[in-house]
Structure 1
Amino acid sequence: MYDYIKGSVTRVTPEYIVIEQQGIGWQLYTPNPFAFQVNKEQIKVFTHLHVREDAHHLFAFKTLEQRELFRKLIQVSGIGPKGALAILASGNPSQVISAIEHEDEKFLVKFPGVGKKTARQMILDLKGKLDSLLEEIELPSAENELPLFGVNPNKHELEEALLALAALGYSERELTKIRLQLDKDERLKTTEDYMKEALKLLLKQQ
């Protein structure tokens, strides 16, 4: 129904962004809201409308390939839009596709809401059907900032990142395990930095 929206980002939250287009503010759920910045510059995002009995939700992606992978993921029994966003938020869809192609259930079950049964279903439903996306998908992110030295002053950015991860479905227990590592990492400055590093740590956990 809606292929894309072009407008300016007026709000960024841990769960969604708002893009204003011709006086209308569109609430858009996206894998990593902090990959966007509030400014007047016009951007274009590709959308997917998800209809439930109690709500209509719009999801936004920076590329067509991201959206197509999202659409394939939500066709798998046991994976809803929230789970698909968490998988895309990992920042490395090619690794996800590779895990499906190589039947690596151990990797797939690291994502929120993905158990052994769902991981097996992902492999059964998607193996051999994602080759066209493997080389094309890239999740853009904010540019890395210069490292900081000394005491980390970016508590607000860290908390924003943890809220965004919680919104994706990661548990408080999982986030508590990595909080101290993130807090001590002097390389991290922006919310996007924290998101990227946190997702790497989460996917390394057994």
Structure 2
Amino acid sequence: MIDFLRGQVAQLENEYVVLDVHGVGYRVFCPNPYYFAAKNDEPVTVYIHHHVREDAILLFGFATREEQKLFRKLIEVSGIGPRVALGILSGGSPSGVVTAIHQENINFLIKLPGIGRKTAQRMILDLKDKLDGMGEATLFDPIPDEIELMQEGNLGWPEAREGLKALGYTDAELDRVWQLMKDNVRPDEAVDSVMKKALKLLYAG
């Protein structure tokens, strides 16, 4: 089984990257492909979940071990397949999702792509006691009270902006991108989702 890949981003699409590893191109489906495009042509490490089924062999890739581990926990929940789990991670950071499960915050979970109330309840029931040690905040994660801020209608842009600055983007670039995207950002949108939209615009120039 493949655990991680390290190589150059050869192709970028909305749902996946093609990673060139010593001349072999691997199609890897990611929560946020544009994160890897922001590395200025440097080699990137993508942590992999190697998914095998009767009709396909698929690679799902993540920027951190934490995302990889949470993805594997999510697909253990009845009704959540790899595609839905990928959507969950594209709509919320690991710390946000784990915090919501620990706090039994159904209102947050049903805002994630592909998650209805019954699935949210099943996530809480199945995972609440299995996520110890997961969900620690990282540079690209929301601040600890992200969920409360989202419920009050605040935007995820300030946190997303800090993460983008850490990737090397200038204030001028970020101000320009925000003007282009601000009307398409929901008040309750997760930080990772806001970053994905911004990186797509930045990558397009």
The answer to whether TM tops 0.5 is yes
8 Å Cα contact 2:28-2:60 kept in structure 1: yes
Match of residue 97 from structure 1? 98
The partner residue of 1:182 within 184, 191, 201 is 184
Where does 1:47-58 land on structure 2 (aligned, <5 Å)?
47-58=48-59
Paired AA for residue 20 in structure 2: E
Match of residue 9 from structure 1? 9
**What SS is found at the alignment partner of 1:146?**
helix
Q: Please say if 1:46 is aligned against 2:74.
A: no
Match of residue 147 from structure 1? 175
1:90 deviates by 2.6
- For residues 99 and 193 of structure 1, the distance between their equivalents in structure 2, rounded to whole angstroms, comes to 20
- For residues 112 and 193 of structure 1, the distance between their equivalents in structure 2, rounded to whole angstroms, comes to 16
Where does 1:63-74 land on structure 2 (aligned, <5 Å)?
63-74=64-75
- For residues 123 and 138 of structure 1, the distance between their equivalents in structure 2, rounded to whole angstroms, comes to 26
Where does 1:32-181 land on structure 2 (aligned, <5 Å)?
32-37=32-37, 40-135=41-136, 139=140, 142-143=164-165, 145-148=173-176, 181=183
8 Å Cα contact 2:36-2:44 kept in structure 1: no
- For residues 123 and 139 of structure 2, the distance between their equivalents in structure 1, rounded to whole angstroms, comes to 21
- For residues 198 and 99 of structure 2, the distance between their equivalents in structure 1, rounded to whole angstroms, comes to 20
Count residues in correspondence.
Answer: 164
8 Å Cα contact 2:35-2:196 kept in structure 1: no
User: TM-score, normalization: structure 1?
Assistant: 0.69
1:136 deviates by 5.2
State percent identity of aligned pairs: 44
1:116 deviates by 1.4
1:131 deviates by 2.4
1:194 deviates by 6.0
Farther-moved stretch of structure 1 (116-125 vs 128-137): 128-137
- For residues 192 and 113 of structure 1, the distance between their equivalents in structure 2, rounded to whole angstroms, comes to 18
| Per-residue deviation, residues 118-171 of structure 1 (Å, max 9, x unmatched) | 11110111002212112155658644533139xx6x6xxx6xxxxxxxxxxxxx
- After superposition, the Cα gap between the structure-2 partners of 1:142 and 1:12, relative to the gap in structure 1 and judged at 3 Å, is farther
Consecutive unaligned residues in structure 1, runs of 5 or more: 159-179, 184-190, 198-206
Consecutive unaligned residues in structure 2, runs of 5 or more: 142-162, 186-192, 200-205
8 Å Cα contact 2:88-2:114 kept in structure 1: no
Match of residue 18 from structure 1? 18
Paired AA for residue 176 in structure 2: L
Paired AA for residue 133 in structure 2: S
- For residues 31 and 40 of structure 1, the distance between their equivalents in structure 2, rounded to whole angstroms, comes to 20
| Per-residue deviation, residues 79-111 of structure 1 (Å, max 9, x unmatched) | 111111111113422121111111111211112
- For residues 198 and 118 of structure 2, the distance between their equivalents in structure 1, rounded to whole angstroms, comes to 27
- For residues 105 and 192 of structure 1, the distance between their equivalents in structure 2, rounded to whole angstroms, comes to 21
- For residues 138 and 91 of structure 1, the distance between their equivalents in structure 2, rounded to whole angstroms, comes to 14
User: TM-score, normalization: structure 2?
Assistant: 0.70
**What SS is found at the alignment partner of 2:76?**
coil
